[in-house]
């Protein structure tokens, strides 16, 4: 498993590769002609357009039920895009339902990581914010999966400027280990002041692969307990966000020689791209995207992948 970022002019080289599980385009207009699943997001980077490439072993690529997926025996990447005009609860339930049928059908029954982007995240739909409608649908779709022993993935949910709902996931044949943040109430236990159904994700998922441990960290924002911190103060929000990221990494037991492999930041306001980043976060390959964080008072959200040292399995 490798995560890399490539500029637009590397497209043809990427399209010819056979080891790619999935590609996510940010700010890219060009059509994708490769065999690997491609997610055309409406999110734009603060810098030039960029491809995010998740590569693995030789991958088999399939389209079924409108889900484009690829798998290499260890990881499955699956992606679906649905029109997101209204009834977000149904759209979310449909997207998760299809992804789960395909993933479980191929024997990759454990969601590790999910990303969901859709427009007008704060608009109201039948008296309820669309993000909260989304949570209702996701909850409905995950209920049976959780009842049969499935695990909530780590996740990111961001408002896009336009386009479809895109949901893309990574799944495995074996369960990951859920890591929660001691500074935060688990999202799936949020009180109902944040909506009738909680957001079904874990703060991070840890997996063992290729002799290392990998921590997939959810989109992380300035939330302590269940409350947003420092509304209107982006620098204070950034500090709380990094404190949450640090706390999660400390809980995951990755060892001292851990390494931040990739970081994505989502910011409501392009000016916030200039905020200063502390170590170890500022040294990793990073992508900063313009997007709406799912609580309107939050200015930024950061996700990451951190790996333990490559010295054999740690448990
Ligand atoms: C939060 O911690 C901030 O609904 O899938 C972060 C990551 C957030 C994922 C989701 C929401 C989601 O509640 C928002």
pLDDT value at position 239?
96
* Residue range 202-220: mean pLDDT, rounded: 97
pLDDT value at position 283?
81
* Residue range 9-21: mean pLDDT, rounded: 97
Residues with C-beta less than 6 Å from any ligand 1 atom = 155-157, 187, 199, 201, 218-219, 221, 223, 294, 301
pLDDT value at position 314?
45
pLDDT digits (tens, 9 = 90+) for 128-170: 999 999 999 999 999 999 999 999 999 999 999 999 999 999 9
Give the dihedral sign, CA 110/115/119/123: positive
Among 155, 160, 228, say which to mutate for ligand 1: greatest number of ligand atoms within 8 Å of CB.
155
Contacts of 75 (CB under 8 A, 6+ apart): 1, 21, 56, 108, 170, 171, 172, 209
* Residue range 259-272: mean pLDDT, rounded: 93
Give the nearest ligand 1 atom to 219 CA: 7
For the cut 60, the answer to whether the pLDDT of residue 8 exceeds it is yes
Contacts of 314 (CB under 8 A, 6+ apart): 208, 213, 253, 254, 255, 308
Confidence tier at 295 by pLDDT (50, 70, 90): very high
For the cut 90, the answer to whether the pLDDT of residue 270 exceeds it is no
Confidence tier at 315 by pLDDT (50, 70, 90): very low
For the cut 60, the answer to whether the pLDDT of residue 236 exceeds it is yes
- Residues with catalytic function: 301
Among 153, 201, 202, say which to mutate for ligand 1: greatest number of ligand atoms within 8 Å of CB.
201
Whose C-alpha lies nearest to ligand 1, atom 9?
A: 156
Give the nearest ligand 1 atom to 187 CA: 13
Specify the range with the lowest mean pLDDT, choosing from 65-69, 72-76, 218-222, 266-270. 266-270
Give the nearest ligand 1 atom to 199 CA: 4
Contact between residue 170 and residue 154 where contact means Cβ atoms under 8 Å apart: no
pLDDT digits (tens, 9 = 90+) for 55-86: 999 999 999 999 999 999 999 999 999 999 88
Q: Ligand 1 centroid vs 156 CA: distance in angstroms? A: 6
For the cut 90, the answer to whether the pLDDT of residue 309 exceeds it is no
Is 199 exposed, middle or buried (CB count within 10 Å of its CB: 0-12, 13-18, 19+)?
A: buried
Contact between residue 286 and residue 265 where contact means Cβ atoms under 8 Å apart: yes
Among 116, 121, 199, 300, say which to mutate for ligand 1: greatest number of ligand atoms within 8 Å of CB.
199
pTM over 0.85, yes/no: yes
């Amino acid at each position: 498993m490798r995560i890399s970022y490539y500029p637009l002019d590397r497209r043809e080289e990427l399209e010819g590769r056979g080891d790619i599980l999935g590609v996510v385009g940010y700010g890219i207009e060009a059509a994708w002609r490769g065999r690997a699943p491609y997610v055309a997001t409406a999110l734009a980077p603060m810098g030039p357009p960029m491809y995010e490439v998740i590569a693995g072993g030789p991958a088999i690529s399939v389209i079924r039920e409108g889900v484009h997926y690829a798998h290499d025996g260890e990881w499955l990447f699956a992606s679906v895009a649905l029109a997101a005009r209204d009834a977000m609860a149904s759209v979310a339930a449909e997207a998760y339902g299809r992804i789960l049928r395909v993933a479980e059908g191929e024997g990759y029954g454990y969601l590790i990581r999910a990303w969901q982007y859709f427009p007008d995240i704060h608009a109201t739909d039948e008296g309820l914010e669309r993000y909260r409608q989304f949570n209702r649908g996701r909850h409905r779709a995950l209920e049976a999966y959780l009842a049969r022993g499935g695990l909530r993935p780590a996740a990111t949910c961001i408002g896009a400027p336009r386009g479809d709902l895109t949901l893309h996931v990574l799944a495995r044949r074996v369960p990951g280990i859920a890591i929660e943040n001691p500074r935060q109430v688990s999202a799936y236990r949020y009180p109902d002041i944040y909506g009738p159904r909680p957001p079904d994700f874990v703060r991070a998922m840890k997996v063992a692969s290729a002799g290392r441990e990998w921590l997939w960290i959810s989109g992380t924002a300035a939330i302590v307990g269940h409350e947003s911190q420092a509304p209107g103060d982006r620098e204070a929000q950034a500090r709380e966000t990094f404190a949450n990221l640090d706390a999660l990494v400390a809980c995951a037991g990755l060892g001292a020689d851990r390494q931040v492999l990739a970081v994505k930041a989502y910011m409501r306001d392009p000016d916030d791209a200039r905020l200063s980043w502390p170590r170890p976060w500022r040294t990793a390959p990073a992508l900063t995207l313009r997007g709406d964080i799912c609580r309107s008072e939050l200015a930024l959200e950061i996700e990451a992948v951190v790996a333990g040292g490559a010295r054999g399995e740690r448990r």
